[in-house]
Amino acid sequence: MTLVVDNKWGSESRSSPRHVAMIMDGNGRWAAERRLPRVEGHRRGVESVRRIVEASKDLGVTHLTLFSFSSENWSRPVEEIKDLFGLLRRFIRRDLADLHKNGVRIRIIGSSSELDNDIQRMLDDAVELTKENTSLNLTIAFNYGSRDEIARAAGRIAEAVTKGELAPEDMTEECFASYLDTDGLPDPDLLIRTSGELRLSNFLLWQLAYAEFVFVDTYWPDFNKGDFEEAIAEFQRRNRRFGGRTVRSTA
């Protein structure tokens, strides 16, 4: 298998997806099949994050968005949520310096209203430290739900109209998108979900309108660069017409 990649931002090549979104699924089942605690599956999942961030640059991906913690995940057992937040803290403390050194820019999407103050400070510090980096734009969807994102955007739009800052007749798709958490980011070209599940789970419902979907059976802790290459190869085999009759590039 041969992949043609281009690591430059804004490349006109459409051989490799510019923006890849990932639903990292299967940590718990990976652990259960090995009779290990669920936290071990999440810990191994963090190792996969490190591998995929590094592989993204090699494969010509300039924007990577990871679904890290859903707004629906609060329904999980308290101990599991505590473990997940502990892993997030350790990931930032251990990996932030290397991510910054390697030119990774971090962005967080989702609601911050329910997060502990120390978590919010760590996330804010990571965003501030890396804001000038350009080798890879890493967006982490944390305490994120797409319906919540769209509802919050609608609220801000209503407020702008009430204040006279926005006229209803001026509302376009582009204008609406500017009120979303992902304002300024290109829409994903490719969505990858691991573990064999075939649903979006309230992830980037607006932004994924024309993305190609690739679902793989591999659990997230086992997902590696080879699996990533296979998913990109599948993306490359598809013709993206966006409702038209001819292939159109999104680069």
Q: Which residues pair with 137 in a beta bridge?
A: 63, 105
Q: What pLDDT does residue 5 have? A: 44
Comparing CA positions, the residue from 135, 131, 124 lying closest to residue 92 is 124
Residue 87: predicted pLDDT: 87
What is the DSSP code (8-state) at residue 110?
Answer: S
At 22, give phi and psi (nearest 5°): -135, 135
What local confidence, expressed as pLDDT, does residue 108 receive? 95
Distance between CA atoms of residues 92 and 38, nearest Å: 21
Q: What is the pLDDT along the chain (251 residues), one digit of tens a residue?
A: 444 444 333 334 457 899 999 999 999 999 999 999 999 999 999 999 999 999 999 999 999 999 998 877 777 888 888 888 888 888 888 999 999 999 999 999 998 877 888 889 999 999 999 999 999 999 999 999 999 999 999 999 999 999 999 999 999 999 999 999 999 999 999 999 999 999 999 999 999 999 999 999 999 999 999 999 999 999 999 987 766 655 565 55
**Which neighbouring-strand residues pair with 104?**
136
Determine the 3-state secondary structure of 109 from DSSP.
strand
3 state SS of 47: helix
**CA–CA separation, 250 vs 115, rounded Å?**
35
For residue 191, give both structure tokens.
């969505």
Q: Which two tokens stand for residue 83?
A: 């473990």
| Active site residues per annotation | 25, 73
With both helix axes pointing from N to C terminus, report the angle between 38-58 and 225-236 in degrees, rounded to the nearest 10: 60
In whole angstroms, give the CA distance from residue 64 to residue 137: 6
Partner residues linked to 191 by β-bridges: 21, 213
